[in-house]
Every structure is written in C-alpha cells, then in structure tokens.
Structure 1
Amino acid sequence: MSEPDDAPDLSRKASTEDDRTVIASTARAGLNAQPQASGAAGSAGSYSANAGANTLPPGTRLGEFEIVELIGEGGFGIVYLAYDTSLGRHVALKEYMPSALAARVGSTEVQVKSERHEVTFRAGLKSFINEARILAQFDHHSLVKVYRFWEANGTAYMVMPYYKGVTLKDALKAMSAPPDERWLRTLLAPLLDALAVLHAANCYHRDIAPDNIILLEGTGRPVLLDFGAARRVIGDMTQALTVILKPGYAPIEQYAEVPSLKQGAWSDQYALGALVYFAIVGKTPPPSVGRMVSDSYQPLAGLVAGRYTDRFVRAIDHALAVMPADRPQTAKQFAEELGLPSETAARHGGPPHEGTPVAPGDRSGAASAKRRLLGGAAVALACAAGAGAWWLHSQKPARTPHSIETGKAIGASNGRAAPATIEASSNLVIAPPASAAQAVPQAASAMPPTEPPVLAFTAPGELARIAALADPGIEVKVEVPVPRAVVNRDKLRFSIVSNRAGYLYVFAVDPANAYLQLFPNGLDQDNRIAPGKRIVLPRSSWPMLAGEPLGENHFLAMVSLTPRDFSALGLSHDSVFASLPPAAQEAAAARRTASSSPFAGTAQCTDAASACSQQYGATTFKIEVVRSSK
C-alpha cells in the first residue's frame, strides 16, 4: 500500500446427527489444512473416511460453487466446504438429503427411494427451502446467515458462511468448572437479541440447545444455528417424536397439540433457560412432559445460592416454568429480569400479535397432516412472512463486485487459500475459541465475577473487534471493485455507503503491521457522509498506487454519529496519513476492555449538545497487494 502519488512512499462434523448446520470445529483433525485446489480429483476413499454413498466428491460443480471437502453428513442433510468461484470465497453448502427417503443416482441427482416416500420427501424439501428463504431475510450477528438457496437435481441447496469455532456443548464440556454469571450474561445478551429479531417477525426457533450454538473462533461470539425445518416436518409426518424434540430443552407445548398451550416466544425462552441450567448444573431440567405429572424440578435459586446473584437465577427459574403463561412473555421481559441490556429486545419487546400468538406449523387436530400436504404451508420455522408464496432460486446470481456489508469481513482469495472465517458484527465479545479447552474462560466459583478476558492484541484483529463492537443499527457497506491489486500498477479504490448521516473514518493495517489513518488525512478533512450517499475513496486529490509490502491490507470503515477524537492513541502526523507507532499500539492495547476499544476513539460533542452519542457503525474489508505474474 502506498501514499498518494507524489507523497512519500509508505511502502459438523461437530454435530452430524439430524440435519443441523455442521460447523468447522477447530479441534477437528485436518479441517485447518489447505483445501484441495480447484478441479482436484479425488476418489470417495481419499475424500473422507466418513463420506457415505450419497456424498458429492471434491471438484463437483453446483452452479458457481465447487465442492472442496465434506464437513459432515447427517440423517437429513449433507454439509460441504465449497468454493464460490463467482465471489472468490469459501462457504458452507448444505444439501437436502434425507437418507432414509432418498438416494444419489448419477453424479448429482437425488431420487426418492419409493413412491410411498414421495409426499414426505417433498414436504421436507419445501420446508428446507422455506427455512433458507426465511433465514436469508434476517441479518443479525448471532443468527446463521443464508447467502443463497435454490432447487436443482431433484433436491435443494443453501449456502451459508463457513463458520469456524466450537459448539457451546463442546466448550462447556472443556470447562473445569461451571461458567460464572458474567460469562453467562455475555453469552445470553446476543442470543436474546437474536431471538427478539425472530420473534418480532412472528418466527420461533424451537430447537435451542448447546449443540446448536457455535462460539466463533477469534471472538467467541455465539451464533444460533439451524432451525431444522426439514427434520421437524419429516419427523412429525412419520410420528418420530425423538427426531423433533430434545427432552430437557423442549417445553410442554412442543409435545402435543393442546389448545390452551400455544407455542411462541416463551417456548424459545424455556429452551434458553434450560441451556443455562445445563451450563450451571451439568444436566438438563427434568423433561417438561414429566413435570406435568410430577414436578421434580430443583430451582436454581436453591441449588446454587451464593454462587450467582439472586436476580439472575430467579429469572432462569421463571423461564423454566412448566406452563407457558407462567414464563416471561417477551425477549425484552426476559432480558430485563436477567438485568441484560438488549437494544433489539427493547425495539421488539412485544409479541407480534397480542393475545394468542401462534407459530404457523402448529398442529391443530387429527387431520392436520393431510391439510399440511394439501395446503403446503407448514414449516417448522414459522414466520408471518413465510406464510405466503415462496420462490425457488434456480438461476445464478449476477456477478457483482466484491461486496462487504456491515461487519462481514470477506477476504480476497488468493487462488485456493485456506478458507477465511466470515463473521457478522456483534455487541459483545466472549472469549477466543482457539480450541475447545480455550473456547471459554474458566469460571469463577464466587461472585462478583471477573472481567471477561480480551483477545491477544493484533492490529488487524483490533480492526475486526471494533467492527464487532459497533451498533448494528448503523449499517456501513463497502464495495471493493478490485480486491487484488498488482503492485506499482493498480490504484486502490473502494466505495462506502451508510444508512445514517455521520462522520466517516478509515483506518488500515498493512502486511508490515503499519497502522494508518487513511481518512480524513492531511489532504482531505471533509469526512461527513450523508445517508445513502456513496463516497468513493481515495479521492482524485490523493490517489493511492498499490505498493509493497506484498500481502493483505486490512481496512476499517467507521461511521460515527458525532465527530470522534483519536488523539489519545498517540497518532503521529508527520505524513499525509497519520500513523500509530508500535509503542503507541501496545499502550492502547493495554487499555482495552471486553466492551470497548481505545482504537475506536471517543465521541466529541459541543457543550451545547443535549446528548452526545457514542454510537458508530463499522465494517472491515481487505485488499491484497500482489506481484504481477507477467
């Protein structure tokens, strides 16, 4: 990366049962190895020792996606690591494949085994597609994101980020003691925030459990995984209740159709309470169906008195009430009882429909299965938006410039480099899950709990952490037309747009770890940005030619509602771009906390201002500087 022209040179198988999204566990042998190159041949035997007859071999092309390797295979779906040849990134590609109902015929085609399975297979297929369509509508940092989905080859596919980390189940198993309250509160806040988003759209997860939450590598941020729509519909139609429910986590209203026991937000809160109970006690609460006959539940308020605050454990006990009406009715209420801040819950605190919110897909009588098959509207993930028609995307998306949305750092791919972790923004940091044993901080047995640990400092990592701490309501999008720039030939160029008016700041860290403030700079101080108005940088008054050192340049684009002061960082202004010497970086790193970064600066307001907003939105992106092959 160089300064402006004429300026001085700056030279699963983590969760293979059912159809859950299988994640790349950092502890899984071989997964961190470099994937095979495009077009690499490989037999099923060399592909994976766990690959079954239905798995697709490496090199298989599905539209613009190329299979790299198997991640995991379950009873209802197969998940692959795939390479997106259009956007140049690695993704997780999930294929609908209920092995009991269908089999692979030919290279990619899926065929139902028997005519008697046709109706069940089609119902599961529709639910798979509907789940993908619904998830694609959400964009929350703790909800699994669906980039694309389509139907082909007799089946359907969905494409998601390639998440790296460990499941909460494995993380808890690796802990030497139960997590303390601070750790649990840090875990619960983003999950409740995500549930508030779902519930506001009249959607319910209905499958919350430790094996369905991943703690992302690098940040420890929890992400709520699959809703398991196809698994639920097929299990429901075949009366396989064990496929649908998890005893201990499933509330009573999920066991049977009782008019007075409707499913709703309170159903997810029961499961979330059971998750916390399991984390603290080491076992789940008694199954809710048994509690209806004889309730042997032992309240946390009595079991762990003195180890956690009375307010916290009583809130969990409240969420675990057997009867739905006796639990917190909204995400906002549950968050308030726990003493958690939840901006999304505050915005979406009420149930979508007051009175008797009902999850579409609830069964309503002996003839319900027939009505589902004829009407075709039943899905396990139920949303008001999903009750009408749904689209099957079979065409390829248009090839667009490399695009980065708020908090999604998508690195440019150099050939077939090892897959990059694709993450969304978060308001909270938990802990780095470099391995299962390190995924969570060791719990303290006494209160008050200690401050959660902050990740070891790296300059590029801190840019990502600033984006993770940003307000998700301030959306910052960046477009990079050329994510790989040839040294001494290509000029760097990117554009930024924000949904809010504010002040734009751009920082960069080059491969030599030089930390720079690119904008505003000594030549360009006008950093105001209007909502929806695109700013293209670098401007013509300070063009930047790609320069050495070679490698990835990491960028942070930040839009603050008020001007920000970065003087406390100790920036040096002896060039067009302010720089942060290594000693100043270390000094600032020592002042970081789990919820703040001195590298983000501080908001500066006039004395006359009635309120000084500290809010900002941010996203990270990369531009790789390479040498010409000519």
Structure 2
Amino acid sequence: MTLPSDDDDRTVIRPVGASPALPPAPPAGPAAAPQDGGSNLPIGTYLGEFELTGVLGEGGFGIVYLAWDHSLERRVALKEYMPSSLAMRVGATQVQVKSQRHQDTFAAGMKSFINEAKLLAQFDHPSLVKVYRFWEANGTAYMVMPFYEGITLKDWLRDHGAAPDEAWLMNLLAPLTEALAVIHRENCFHRDIAPDNVILLAGSERPLLLDFGAARRVIGDMTQALTVILKPGYAPVEQYAESPDLKQGPWTDVYALAASIYYAITGGTPPPSVSRIVTDSYKPIAQTHAGQYSATFLTAIDKALGVLPDQRTPSIDAFRADLGLAEAGSFGAAVTLMPSSPAPSRAGSSSAPAPAPAKRGMGLWVGAGVAGLAVLGTVGYLSLGRSPAPAPAPTAAASAAPAEPVATPAPPPLSVASAPEPAPVAAPPAPVAQPGLDIGAEFDRVLREAPADFRVDASAPKTTLKIDRDDLVFGLRATQNGFATVLALGPDNSLIRLLPNSLHRSVPVVAGKPLRLPPGNDQIPAGDPPGPTRLLVIVTPEQRDFDQWGGREDGGYLSLPTDAATLQRLSQAAGAVSPLIGRARNCSSGSCNRYGAAEIRLDIVR
C-alpha cells in the first residue's frame, strides 16, 4: 500500500491576503449529498452545531473545513479524520473502511486522532493549537479548532530571503520553548517540529506550533512508511529506530527545534541524523557563522544538535538556559495565578462602582481590583485613544462569548491560556504619520540597544484578548535588580504608562525572581478598539520619571502625548538613550542609563 508523504492532514492556515475576506455567516441552502466514494463533505453539511462553509485543505489523513459555529456564532476550523488510503465516503456523511484488512490500522489511527484532540484540549498555551471540541460520529472522528490566519515559518523565511537576526530568533524561541515545556511536563512530546509546522500569526507574528499529526505517525508506523512520519534533517536518530540505547524524550524535540533554527540561519537542514552516525559531516555554526550571532546563541544550537541523545541538550529547560532564557516553569507560576478574591463582574455587582468614563482608545482598560477600589474609589480604566466614544452597552450576543463557555460573568481562570479567537479581525486604522519621534521605531530601538548582560524576559499566558471578556496578566524576570516600567502602544499610536501608576508608585524587581503583573489583585481587562498592541517592559537600576513628556494622569495612569509637537521636541532632545526609558530620579552612579527590555505583542479582538 502506498501512503502519501505530504503533511496535508495538519491544521490549515489561510495565508494572509491569499483570498478575499470570508463572509461573516454561512451561506444558506441545503447540502447536496456526495456520491459514494467521494472525499470531502459538501458545503452546507451540518455536524452538530457546525455548518461547513468551505474546504481549507484535504490530505492523505484528514480534511479540514471552514465551518460556522451556530452556537457561539464564530468561524472555526473543523478537522475530520479521513485517511483516504484506508477509507471512503458512503452516503451523506458516513466513513467506511475500504477493506477489512485495513480495519485495525484505521481504528488505531482514529484512536490516535482522538487522543491528540484530548491532548491539545488539555494544554492551553498561546503557542499551541487549541481544540474547542472533539467527538466521534459517522464512523469517524472530528475536532474543532480556531481558524488561524498566518504564514508558516518556512514560507516566511523564503519570502524574506535574508536570515533573521538573533533578536528575532530569540523572540521566536521564547514562546515555542515555553509551549514545549508545558507538554513535556506531562511526558508528552511533539516529535514533528519543522519550519513548515510553525506558523506566524497575522498581525502579531506570534509563533504557533501546529498539531502533532498523531494519526499520521500511527498509520505510518503500522505500514512501515517512515517517509510519512519523519523529516530528514529535522528528525533525530532515535526516531528512526527506537532501542534501549536510543530512547525518545524531551531531547527529541530539542533536536528538531534546533534544526529548525539552523535552517533559519543557514537556509538548509543539518545533515540527516542517520548519516551522521556513520560519518558526522555536521559543521558547527559557532564556527561557520561566528560574528553574525553571539557565541552563546550559536553554541546552544550546536549543543542541541548533538547526534546522539547523550551528547545533546537533555531538556527544553536546559536549552532555554543555554540560550539565556528564563526557566519556562518560572513564568508559568508567575502569570497563571488567579486573584485571591473574585474579580468584579463587568456588568456590575451589589456594590457597584461609579460609572466609568467612556472608553476611548486602544484596547486595554484597567480595573484596579479589590485593592484598587479601596484606593481609587472606582474601577480605573485605561484609555489610549483620541476620539471619545460611548461605552458599549452590555449584550448577550453569542459573538461576545469567550473561547470556552463559562458559567459566571467573571473573567475566565488565568491558569489556562486560551488560543486566539478564530474570527478574523478587521485591520485597525493605520497610525497617522507624524514628524519627529516614531513611537514604534523607538520601541524597536529600546529593544535593540538593551545590553546583553541586562536581560529581561517577559511573557503572557494569553496574548489574544477578547474585548470585555479577557484580562491581561503577564510576568517578567530580569537578571539584575531594578524597577519596572511598562508602556503600551495602541493601534492608533496612543501611548500609556501602565506601570508605575497611582496605585503602584514603584514596581521593584528582584534579580532572578519571577514577578506577576499587574501586582496584587489588579486586573487589565481588554477594551475597544481592536487591533495589535505592543507592551514594552523595561527594567532600570533606578526609578524613572517621564516629566519631559508632559503627560497627564488619566484614571490613575499616565497618558503620554504623541502629538506632532511633543514628538518633534522629544526627537530633538533625545540623547544617548530613548526618551521611552524616562529619566533617572536620583542617580549617583555611572549606570543611570543602563536598562533591560522585553516586548509582549497582543491582539485585541472582538
């Protein structure tokens, strides 16, 4: 039996700009029954509450449909287990094995498909594919996922030509290694990492590790079709022949991830691992690319590509340590804590605060939580825009429901980092071009000029936030003591200082210790308007002020002007460091302008 060697059973990502915007609702009309032996289900077919509205991809092991969720009124991707070499369509929806001799293989593949769905549903991380639902019916199985839009890492590298710099690759590695650490802690392994199995989501370029293709591997194992399940250059030697001396484990994913970074740097894969056992022709990139990247970075990649497991970086946490990233588990503890007291309802409570002013801008507004209510007397809000707009009235529309249904109006538990919502978000209006200082460029400058020995890592368990439903919680860890400043740049070029604020006049950071933000029980719920939002997290040895900006207090937070006159003045006055760093209040040493910085990119969606 011949099996396809492609990977079309994976979750399908529609490339940005590949086709016109899809309609918000499914087309009307009954579905036509396919002829026996047909492959995909016809458009208009209902599978429970999901109506199929298109076919996103069809491969050797499954079909991915675009579907409309009539229950929650959102667009989703629905994946059907359908190994075309083993089964066929009979009647309207039934899947039937072609021959009894294929029954065991088909059943094993379906069991693995279901186990994969359960696995992905269990793990909630912004760089792992999310599964909303899975079930068995019609002789087969289905899983429902968000409809992601983006581009594969392989295609991104092809389109950009030149190799990305170290900062870009580190920003790629940080969330991917965090995601792998999450699954490795449960003794689960991906075993199929490659540049075509990582996508960069539209708008944020946040990396997403595609589904594991478990059914493909099981069927390949049972039919001895190694070409189906392994990728030469990315698969380490232990995947070719499991033996007592060559067990698979976390180091297996370490090798494949490092091989993907090797591909990004060199444009090619390392020599196939099986050939390296006989004659190792691998040339360390610490030698071939010396001077183009830091020695620490290149050495970490070389170590992770050791041909034998006992010569290789043993775990994702060890790989992160070699790269200079914080231990993955530390941020998990820092950013997934629930407040000790329930968050107040968005719609109000028995001790309702005074009505908040109309929300006016960028995508984040701050509720000060229990402690904040005592100090500020009301729910503080963060408004970064210029054009006041009435606050939206509460609605019971299903389109405003969170990714997973909840029983109370309180925010969903932050111990679970939900995947991005599938509904495409309309692009926000482009910032108005202004003379002088470009805030986005200054964000880039701050990140670029941060010294390597003052490292700051920042991450959020959830980076796609639904307006009026989700809360921003994030964590940081720095290699040096200091004080944190957090700036937020909205899609309309508005700028706010989230921290420090009137409630937290200083945010001390202890070297090596994870810090959950916002402090205490504070909340930062997502608000209008939707669009990409950048958080710049800065740690400095001394506290900084922003008097030179001439900002104003707004709901307890400092709103920094971005008008042409201010930007021009700051541009002319800018010295050795960016004005985004602020000024040292009481600096008596020569390290006044030292700092570390990191960035978190958010998608605010409806």
TM-score, reference length from structure 1: 0.60
Per the alignment, residue 226 of structure 1 pairs with 211
In 2, Cα distance between equivalents of 1:235 and 1:321: 26
Once residues 156 and 601 of structure 1 are traced to their aligned partners in structure 2, the CA distance between those partners, rounded to angstroms, is 56
Spell out the pairing of 1:447-486 with structure 2 (5 A cutoff). 471-472=459-460
The counterpart of 1:20, out of the listed 5, 10, 13, is 10
- Return the offset for 1:209: 0.4
Give, in angstroms, the shift of residue 343 of structure 1: 3.7
Residue 23 of structure 1 aligns with an amino acid whose one-letter code is I
2:176 paired residue number = 191
Any conservation in 1 of the 2:465–2:526 contact (CA below 8 Å)?
no
Q: Deviations over 1:44-99 (max 9, x none)?
A: 99x9xxxx932223322222222221111111111122222222222222111111
The amino acid across from 1:99 in the alignment is S
2:21 matched residue in structure 1 = 33
Q: Which of 146, 168, 177 lines up with 1:161 in the alignment?
A: 146
**Counterpart Cα distance in 2 of 1:307 and 1:508:** 31
Structure 1 residue 180, shift from structure 2 partner = 2.7
Match of 1:341 in 2: 325
Task: State the secondary structure of the residue aligned to 2:205.
Answer: coil
SS in 2 for 1:313: helix
Q: Do the aligned partners of residues 348 and 419 (structure 1) sit closer, same or farther apart at CA in structure 2, a change above 3 Å counting?
A: closer
Distance 2:600 2:162 in 1: 37
* CA–CA distance in structure 2, aligned partners of residues 575 and 498 of structure 1: 19
Q: Residues 536, 27 of structure 1: CA spacing in aligned structure 2 closer, same or farther, 3 A cutoff?
A: closer
The residue type equivalent to 1:583 in the other structure is: D
Per the alignment, in what secondary structure is the counterpart of residue 24 of structure 1? coil
- CA distance 1:80–1:455, shift in 2 (3 Å): farther
| 2:316 aligns with one of 311, 327, 331 | 331
1:454 positional shift: 8.3
Which residue of structure 2 aligns with residue 89 of structure 1? 74
What does residue range 240-251 of structure 1 map to in structure 2 within 5 Å?
Answer: 240-251=225-236
AA of the residue aligned to 2:326: S
1:290 Cα deviation after fit? 1.6
Spell out, residue by residue over 1:424-447, the C-alpha distance to the aligned partner (whole angstroms, 9 max, x if none).
Answer: xxxxxxxxxxxxxxxxxxxxxxxx
1:136 and 2:136 matched: no
Residue among 424, 447, 455 paired with 1:419? 424
Q: AA paired with 2:563?
A: A
Q: How far, CA to CA, are the matches of 2:304 and 2:499 in structure 1?
A: 48
Provide the rounded CA distance (Å) in 2 between the counterparts of 1:253 and 1:318.
16
Distance of 1:63 and 1:598 partners within structure 2: 55
Q: Secondary structure at the match of 1:277?
A: helix
Alignment size in residue pairs: 469
For 1:514 and 1:348, how far apart are their aligned partners in 2? 30
CA contact (8 A) 2:76 2:146 kept: yes
Name the residue aligned to 1:274.
Answer: 259
Per the TM alignment, residue 249 of structure 1 is displaced from its structure 2 partner at its CA by: 0.8
Q: Is the 8 A contact 2:126 2:419 kept in 1?
A: no
Instruction: Rate the CA distance shift 1:249–1:39 in 2: closer, same or farther, 3 A.
Output: same
Shift of residue 477 of structure 1?
A: 11
Q: Distance in 2 between matches of 1:616 and 1:306?
A: 25
**Kept after mapping to 2: 8 A contact 1:409/1:621:** no
1:497 Cα deviation from its structure 2 partner? 9.9
Identify if the C-alpha distance between structure 1 residues 347 and 216 changes in structure 2 by more than 3 Å, giving closer, same or farther.
Answer: closer
Which whole-Å CA distance do the structure 2 matches of 1:33 and 1:118 have between them?
41
* Counterpart contact for 1:477–1:498, Cα < 8 Å: no
Residues 204-238 of structure 1 deviation map (CA, whole Å, 9 limit, x = unaligned): 11101010000111111111111110000011011
Kept after mapping to 1: 8 A contact 2:193/2:253: yes
1:63 aligned residue (35, 39, 48) = 48
Q: Is residue 216–residue 222 contact of structure 1 (8 Å, CA) maintained in 2? A: yes
Instruction: Check 1:327–1:40 CA distance in 2 against 1; reply closer, same or farther (3 A cut).
Output: same
> Residue 187 of structure 2 aligns to a residue in which SS?
coil
The answer to whether residue 271 in structure 2 is matched with residue 299 in structure 1 is: no
| Counterpart position of 2:223 | 238
Match in the other structure for 1:214: 199
SS of alignment partner, residue 563 of structure 2: helix
Task: Letter of the 2:11 partner, please give it.
Answer: T
What residue number does 1:489 align with?
Answer: none
Deviation at 1:286, TM superposition (A): 1.6
Q: CA deviation at 1:472?
A: 2.8
Cα distance between partner residues in 2 of 1:316 and 1:519: 36
Query: What residue is the counterpart of 2:297 in the other structure?
Result: 312
| Alignment partners' CA distance in 2, 1:601 and 1:53 | 65
User: What residue number does 2:563 align with?
Assistant: 583
Distance 1:497 1:26 in 2: 26
Looking at structure 2, the residues matched to 571 and 43 of structure 1 have their Cα atoms a distance apart, in angstroms, of: 59
- Residues 112 and 121, structure 1, Cα contact 8 Å, conserved in 2: yes
Deviation at 1:572, TM superposition (A): 4.5
> Which 10-residue stretch deviates more, 307-316 or 575-584?
575-584
**273, 276, 292: which one aligns with 1:288:** 273
Normalised TM-score (structure 2): 0.62
Q: Distance in 2 between matches of 1:304 and 1:495?
A: 43
Q: Is contact 2:153–2:196 with CA below 8 Å preserved after alignment?
A: yes
Which of 190, 203, 206 is the matching residue for 2:188? 203
Contact 2:549 2:566 (C-alpha < 8 Å) held by counterparts? no
- In 2: Cα distance, 1:315 partner to 1:536 partner: 38
1:173 to 158, 176, 180: 158
SS of residue paired to 1:187: helix
Matches of 2:499 and 2:330, distance apart in 1: 35
Separation (CA, whole Å) in 2 of partners of 1:71 and 1:261: 38
Deviates more, 1:77-86 or 1:161-170: 77-86
Equivalent residue letter for 1:261: L
Report the AA paired with residue 326 of structure 1.
Q
Counterpart pick for 1:265 among 245, 250, 266? 250
Letter in 1 for 2:145: M
Letter paired with 2:43: P
- SS of 1:25's equivalent in the other structure is coil
Residue 83 to residue 186, structure 1, CA distance change in 2 (3 Å): same
For 1:557 and 1:314, locate their aligned partners in 2 and report how far apart those are by CA, in whole Å.
Answer: 31
C-alpha deviation, 1:240, in angstroms: 0.8
1:185 CA drift (Å): 2.3
**Contact 1:125–1:156 (Cα < 8 Å) also in 2:** yes
Q: Quick check: 1:82–1:93 contact (8 Å CA) kept in 2? A: yes
Deviations, residues 318-338 of structure 1 (Å, cap 9, x unaligned): 111111001011212222222
RMSD value over aligned CA atoms? Answer: 5.4
**From 66, 77, 85, the counterpart of 2:62:** 77
What is the deviation of 1:121?
Answer: 0.9
State the secondary structure of the residue aligned to 2:199. Answer: strand
Structure 1's unaligned 5+ residue stretches are 1-14, 350-396, 423-451, 457-468, 484-493, 523-527, 539-550, 592-596, 605-612, 624-630
Percent identity of equivalent pairs: 51
1: CA distance, partners of 2:534 / 2:288: 48
- Name the CA distance, whole Å, in 1 between partners of 2:43 and 2:148: 20
Amino acid at match of 2:26: S
Aligned ranges 1:466-545 → 2 under 5 Å: 471-472=459-460
Of structures 1 and 2, the one with the larger relative CO (CA 8 A, separation 6+) is: 1
Contact preservation (8 Å) 1:332, 1:346? no
Instruction: Give yes or no for contact 1:212–1:224 (8 Å, CA) kept in 2.
Output: yes
8 Å CA contact 1:128–1:229 kept in 2: the answer is yes
SS at match of 2:244: coil
| C-alpha distance in 1 between matches for 2:240 and 2:256 | 13
Deviations along 1:439-479, one digit per CA (max 9) or x if unpaired, are xxxxxxxxxxxxx97899xxxxxxxxxxxx96436x79989
- Out of 210, 223, 240, the position equivalent to 1:255 is 240
